[in-house]
Amino acid sequence: MRTVLNFIDGHPVAGSLGRMFDNISPGDGSLLGRVYEAGADDVDQAVAAARAALHGHWGSLDIPERAAMLHAVAAEIERRFDDFVEAEVADTGKPASLARHLDIPRGAANFRIFADMVRNVPAESFEMRAPDGARVLNYAIRRPKGVIAVVCPWNLPLLLMTWKVGPALACGNTVVVKPSEETPSTATLLGEVMKAAGVPDGVYNVVHGFGPGSAGEFLTRHPGVDAITFTGETTTGSAIMKAAADGVRGVSFELGGKNPAIVFADADLEAAVEGTARSVFANCGQVCLGTERVYVERPLFDRFVAALKQRAEALRPGDPHDPGTSLGPLISRQHREKVLSYYRQAVEDGAEVVTGGGIPAMPSALAGGAWIQPTIWTGLDDSSRVVREEIFGPCCHIRPFDSEAEAVRLANDTPYGLAAAVWTRDLSRAHRMAGVLNVGICWINSWFLRDLRTPFGGARQSGIGREGGVHSLEFYTELTNVCVRL
Ligand code: NAD
């Protein structure tokens, strides 16, 4: 059994509480290991170490040197690729093929892309005349914002954490990371990588624990934290925003969603079914950008439902290391209870269960895991909680529509605004739709394809701010305008 430690000031540490919590395998319910919980004193130490590193070597490094070090971090992640895959698969139960193709490569890419970006940021400058005719040069310089708290969810642990840590460090900040209590392992492993890559002690720190009354709250309330970047549920975002109000700290939030896919009758049916199946069932539906509402133009409706049903039923849950496995478990039995409550609600609300709706029969070795059937419903009213609330499981409701205007109205009828996918061969219509859907990212005839230099984030209750490319700079740096009378 393994022990997961905090990582403070360049060292793995147990912490002051001497208390541990269990790290449970979602695949079979077994005890994977135990995790040392950080107390308020440990969070203090981590923030102090991050502050010292900010004012020490890291803050004074030239950008090319800092960028080179982040490239070394990426290379070290790749050197320890199998360790990362193993840790991520153990914590999440996801198929190893997914971790190999998505989570871990993106973990490395998140350091490379931002290292390259900060080397290529143009500076703003303006020349003007003072009232007496003297020339005046204005130019803006970017400085690191300071100590950044990075609070992460469990669905794509390394990928989403490095999506924040990469740009934060590239911009010269130092970080204290609070990974999800469900998936602690890769954050601590990244500490080892930082050390091996020569990143100075204190630049990257990890404190383990929970949210309220634990490391998450201690960190986000800490007066030594200059800004908070958070990915997780909208209600948690709201709690963190209150904590950030003291000291008027900046926040960047990537929150929940209830994302629509809109399939027009002229769509390439095969591509639309394939893309929608991925967006509903990938990572067992635990992707913030995933689809939970599908709207299909009426002439295509029956064929689409039948084809998506076939895809759902072809998914194979099982051992993550078996190459034939295409569906992992949910993150925990507790989360499964939540998802199953929506499965029951759908039936109570009069849904037709097209497929799934329960727990699959699994071999006895995996029976203790958080397995769940991929599920499709039709026939729900637009007011059903199942159609309105984020479920975060491998499920969707499919509803017919009769006009473009109706599709837009239905898609936008949500407090969320993260992502949408539009499937049509009519490109004029696709562009029209993208212009009126109230979302942070709109896919046309695709899903989960994105250049990391583009803005990422959600509208409405799906987030605050945008990260990605130069947009990350806006959050992770402060601008100082320098005004020089020449
Ligand atoms: P969560 O909000 O329950 O937890 C996220 C993190 O916040 C965890 O580390 C948790 O310990 C911590 N936390 C909880 N309460 C806290 C508090 N009061 N103060 C400080 N920290 C606190 O989210 P989750 O269940 O881990 O992840 C799933 C959610 O994340 C879904 O809603 C999903 O849509 C969202 N998500 C969004 C994006 C995006 O980019 N928009 C990406 C991935 C996941």
Q: Which residues make beta-bridge pairs with 368?
A: none
Atom of ligand 1 nearest to the CA of 179: 9
Q: Residues 170, 212: one domain?
A: yes
Report the SS3 class of residue 228. Answer: strand
What pLDDT score does 282 carry? 97
Q: Residues 279, 401: one domain?
A: yes
Q: Residues 229, 294: one domain?
A: no
The preferred substitution site among 288, 330, 472, 475 for testing ligand 1, maximizing ligand atoms within 8 Å of CB, is 288
Q: What mean pLDDT, rounded, does the chain reach?
A: 97
DSSP β-ladder status, 2-4 and 441-444? unpaired
Q: Provide the 10 A C-beta neighbour count for residue 428.
A: 8
415 close to 285: Cβ distance less than 8 angstroms: no
Q: Annotate 248-284 with b (16+ C-beta within 10 A) or e (fewer).
A: ebbbbbbbbbbbbbbbbeebebeebbebbbbbbbbbb
Ligand 1 atom 17: the closest Cα is on which residue? 211
DSSP state of 456: B
Residue 394 lies in domain = 259-444
Q: Residues 269, 138: one domain?
A: no
Q: Residues 368, 384: one domain?
A: yes
The preferred substitution site among 6, 236, 241, 390 for testing ligand 1, maximizing ligand atoms within 8 Å of CB, is 236
Q: How many domains does the chain have?
A: 2
The reply to whether 313 falls in a domain is yes
Q: Residues 305, 420: one domain?
A: yes
Given a cut of 90, whether residue 400 has pLDDT beyond it is yes
The reply to whether 366 falls in a domain is yes
What pLDDT score does 60 carry? 79
d(CA 452, CA 465): 16
Atom of ligand 1 nearest to the CA of 236: 2
Q: Residues 303, 350: one domain?
A: yes
Share of the chain above pLDDT 70, in %: 100
d(CA 255, CA 249): 18
Cα atoms found within 13 Å of the Cα of residue 458, Cβ hemisphere only: 26
Q: In what order do the strands lie in the sheet with 291-297?
A: 352-355, 375-378, 395-401, 291-297, 259-263, 419-423, 441-444
What pLDDT score does 122 carry? 87
Residue owning tokens 């209150």? 242
Q: Which residues make beta-bridge pairs with 229?
A: 150, 252
Confidence bin at 256 (pLDDT 50/70/90): very high
Q: In what order do the strands lie in the sheet with 250-254?
A: 11-13, 6-8, 204-206, 174-178, 147-151, 227-231, 250-254, 463-464
Share of the chain above pLDDT 90, in %: 97
Q: 108, 57, 53: which is closest to 83 by C-alpha?
A: 108
Q: In what order do the strands lie in the sheet with 2-4?
A: 2-4, 31-36, 20-24
**pLDDT per position as a tens digit, 25-77:** 999 999 999 999 999 999 999 999 999 999 988 977 999 999 999 999 999 99
Distance 301 CA to ligand 1 centre (A): 34
Distance 388 CA to ligand 1 centre (A): 19
Q: 34, 334, 27: which is closest to 209 by C-alpha?
A: 34
* Residues 6+ positions from 398 with CB-CB distance below 8 Å: 294, 295, 296, 301, 304, 305, 308, 354, 376, 377, 378
- Which residues have any ligand 1 atom within 6 Å of their CB? 151-155, 160, 178, 180-181, 210-212, 216-217, 220, 231-233, 236, 239-240, 254-257, 288, 390, 392, 418, 458, 462-463
User: What is the CATH classification number for the domain harbouring 421?
Assistant: 3.40.309.10
Q: Residues 232, 367: one domain?
A: no
Confidence bin at 431 (pLDDT 50/70/90): very high
